[in-house]
Amino acid sequence: MTSTPAHFRFWPPHLSRELRAPETNLVENLRVNAMRYPNKAAVVFFDAVLTYGELARQVDSMAAYLQSLGLAKGDRVLLLMQNSPQWVVAHFAILRANAVVVPVNPMNRAHELSHYICDAQAAFAVVSADLAGFLAKADFSLQPDEQLRHVVVAHIGEVLDATSDGFAAEVPTAWVPWLSDVIDPPQWAQAGHHSWAQAIHYEGLPQALTAGPSDLAVLPYTSGTTGLPKGCMHTHASVMHNAVASSYWGNSTAEVVSLIVVPMFHITGMVSGMHAAVFGGATMVVMPRWNRDLAGRMISKWRVTHWTNIPTMIMDLLASPNMSSYDLSSLKYIGGGGAAMPQAVAQRLFDEFGLRFAEGYGLTETAAPSHSNPPLATKQQCLGVPFIGVRSMVVDPETLLPLPQGEAGEIVINGPMVFQGYWRCPQATADAFVDIEGVRYFRSGDLGRMDEDGYYFMTDRLKRMINASGFKVWPAEVEALMFKHPSVAEACVIGVPDAYRGENVKVFVVLRAGHSVSEQDLLSWCHEEMAVYKAPRLLEFLDELPKSGSGKVMWRALQEQAKENAKSGAAAT
């Protein structure tokens, strides 16, 4: 008889351990709630409110417009813009047209965008005006048979009330270019390029909704550890499972008001943020980019109840000099991932606001969470337990044999939210999965361990391990130790080539505001607090760590720069 997994002792009492998700197209979630709550706010953007009824109307009109241009079932459509009501409309319109959403990071530039156009074999795109120039440059660089045929250009100002004396009148200065109506280069606004107004006011009706649970829905790209970004094939079923599971996990109802500031091009913002909210009929308070004081005001004004985020956002908000003027009393659920939440910050959240930060873990390949902390039984700096319907274990990364409790190895995952494979990359797909006792598991590439309660803890990325004189050093472990120093706000650890030791441990540090400590004093502290082989030998202070559009620290960029510097130094000698 199979024993019950240890983590079920801490399972949320209102939840079953498995989930029967709707066997429908994701658009049905929107259609149902548009009928139930036609006048309820679906999206709030600064002072602008888009109801469920109007959202569904715009989705149908845009879907019909795209189909009138020739968009067919299964076609891929690039979606390139910051978080906005238009992002939500375009996303569901593409799905309503039986097509596939290719969400693209708005931080990408022309040479990167050309890869997405070609690899996804996309002929359609929806883009905001401020990014149209980059997409145009990418498009011009391609051969005629590779180029986009139709592009819908959106002006974010179209959804803002220009006469507002509230939030819209206080758009941060850094966002002004993003709100511009200027398309650069202007020659790109030609035949084949269409206005947002044309799309959402089209009077035709969309064709029948024929894409079902097993059809491709979204194709988000992930950089992985090597090569060009690869598209992760997610069906309506895989996204639906985690949308429903995320909604239930947070005990969501139609009364929920969710702050959506994690980028929606990113799998977490898209699935755990937008799709979970739409499934439950919740209101989404959407922020285009992170701004701590705007976030504080939005939470206070709109009485936000749920917030999925990156821990650095919490740290930044709590550090605001205006923090005392914000009312966070409406918050009931707060969680996220992408980085470990420092224990001191988590404790402050609980002591001052009664909030338990529920960390989670997932990848683009798993449609966001594969593990999460039970909201009422959280552990700090912990990935959590296997999510609803998920089977997971820790295996030896070389033999792929299961490892005993407490021993570190590679985390592997099985569940209905796991992707179908990498787009047009059969070998990479084959390499990403392993069969264990007749069950197909996805190899996460992340190293971790499981404790006696069935909770998972991150050790590090498999490809990020540092080999210092034969000793294995896991950067995430060193980073966690760095947070114990009172002056350290953020830390990122990498391996630096060394002719004698193989690699040295180097740490990049951002100091807390108002704190000062010398490089030598901090290195000495490291050697007192850590084993000699893992203590950093090199340290560099930065004003800020490089971060991706989703808020994750871009350790690879620091790693590659260190390697280039090492090569340059060797060449000079």
Domain boundaries defined on the chain: 52-211, 385-460, 465-572
Confidence at 226, pLDDT banded by 50, 70, 90: very low
What distance in Å separates the CA atoms of residue 236 and residue 224, rounded to the nearest whole number?
23
* Alpha-carbon dihedral angle through residues 386, 283, 46, 490, given to the nearest 10 degrees: -10
Say if residues 218 and 107 touch (Cβ distance below 8 Å): no
506 torsion bin: left (phi>0), alpha (psi -120 to 50), beta (else):
beta
What pLDDT, on the 0 to 100 scale, is given for residue 179? 54
Among the four given CATH numbers 2.30.38.10, 2.60.40.10, 3.40.50.720, 3.40.50.10860, the one describing domain 385-460: 2.30.38.10
Cβ-count burial 364-393 (b if 16+ within 10 Å, e if not)? bbbbbbbbbbbbebbbbbbbbbbbbbbebb
**What confidence tens digit (pLDDT) does each residue in 100-129 have?**
999 998 888 887 899 999 999 999 999 998
Confidence at 560, pLDDT banded by 50, 70, 90: confident
**What confidence tens digit (pLDDT) does each residue in 305-344 have?**
999 998 888 988 999 999 999 999 999 999 998 777 888 8
pLDDT score of 438 more than 90: yes
pLDDT score of 1 more than 60: no
Find the mean pLDDT for residues 532-545: 91
Confidence at 247, pLDDT banded by 50, 70, 90: very high
Report the SS3 class of residue 21: coil
Say if residues 149 and 124 touch (Cβ distance below 8 Å): yes
What distance in Å separates the CA atoms of residue 554 and residue 387, rounded to the nearest whole number?
26
Q: Nearest Cα to 214, choosing from 20, 90, 96, 74? A: 74
What distance in Å separates the CA atoms of residue 146 and residue 141, rounded to the nearest whole number?
10
Confidence at 225, pLDDT banded by 50, 70, 90: very low
Count other C-beta atoms under 10 Å from residue 542's C-beta.
Answer: 14
Same fold, 52-211 and 465-572: no
Please check whether the domain covering 465-572 is classified as CATH 3.30.300.30: yes
Please check whether the domain covering 52-211 is classified as CATH 3.30.450.40: no
pLDDT score of 182 more than 70: no
Work out the mean pLDDT of the chain and round it to a whole number: 89
Tokens 């000495």 correspond to what residue?
524
Look at 78 and 550; give whichever has higher pLDDT: 78
Question: What is the torsional sign of CA 338, 220, 235, 461?
Answer: negative
DSSP code per residue over 407-437: --EEEEEESTTS---BTT-HHHHHHHEEEET
Q: CA angle, 360 as apex, 359 and 365 as ends, to 5°?
A: 160
Q: CA angle, 338 as apex, 102 and 385 as ends, to 5°?
A: 105
Strand pairing class (466-468; 357-363) = unpaired
pLDDT score of 224 more than 70: no
What distance in Å separates the CA atoms of residue 73 and residue 219, rounded to the nearest whole number?
14
pLDDT score of 566 more than 90: no
User: Helix count (H) and strand count (E) of the chain?
Assistant: 16, 28
Find the mean pLDDT for residues 548-564: 81
Look at 560 and 305; give whichever has higher pLDDT: 305
β-partners of residue 41 are 51
What distance in Å separates the CA atoms of residue 332 and residue 317, rounded to the nearest whole number?
17
Say if residues 468 and 536 touch (Cβ distance below 8 Å): no
Q: Which tokens go with 29?
A: 């979630």
Least confident of 283-292, 405-414, 553-562: 553-562
3-state secondary structure 154-192: ECHHHHCCCCCCCHHHHCCHHHHHHHCCCCCCHHHCCCC
Query: How are the residues of the chain apportioned to helix, strand and coil, as percentages rounded to the nearest 5?
Result: 35, 25, 40
Find the mean pLDDT for residues 398-417: 95
**What confidence tens digit (pLDDT) does each residue in 351-379 have?**
999 999 999 999 999 999 999 999 999 99
Q: Nearest Cα to 495, choosing from 486, 484, 503? A: 503
pLDDT score of 176 more than 60: no
Cβ-count burial 58-89 (b if 16+ within 10 Å, e if not)? bbbbbbbbbbeeebeeebbbbbbbbbbbbbbb
**What confidence tens digit (pLDDT) does each residue in 132-170 have?**
888 998 998 899 999 999 999 998 878 875 445 455 556
Look at 380 and 279; give whichever has higher pLDDT: 279
Confidence at 276, pLDDT banded by 50, 70, 90: very high
β-partners of residue 222 are 230
What distance in Å separates the CA atoms of residue 485 and residue 493, rounded to the nearest whole number?
15
What pLDDT, on the 0 to 100 scale, is given for residue 180? 55
Say if residues 457 and 451 touch (Cβ distance below 8 Å): yes
Provide the percentage of residues in the chain whose pLDDT is more than 70. Answer: 90
Does the predicted model carry a pTM greater than 0.85? no
What pLDDT, on the 0 to 100 scale, is given for residue 472? 63
Alpha-carbon distances of 308 from 110, 241, 261, 292, 563, rounded to whole Å: 31, 18, 8, 15, 35
Question: What does residue 68 show for φ and ψ, rounded to 5 degrees?
Answer: -65, -25
Provide the percentage of residues in the chain whose pLDDT is more than 90. Answer: 69
pLDDT score of 289 more than 90: no
What distance in Å separates the CA atoms of residue 554 and residue 223, rounded to the nearest whole number?
12
DSSP E strand stretches across 91-243 = 100-103, 124-128, 150-154, 193-195, 216-218, 221-222, 230-231, 234-235
Question: What does residue 502 show for φ and ψ, rounded to 5 degrees?
Answer: 90, -60
Inter-axis angle of helices 110-120 and 129-140, nearest 10 = 70
What distance in Å separates the CA atoms of residue 409 and residue 462, rounded to the nearest whole number?
9
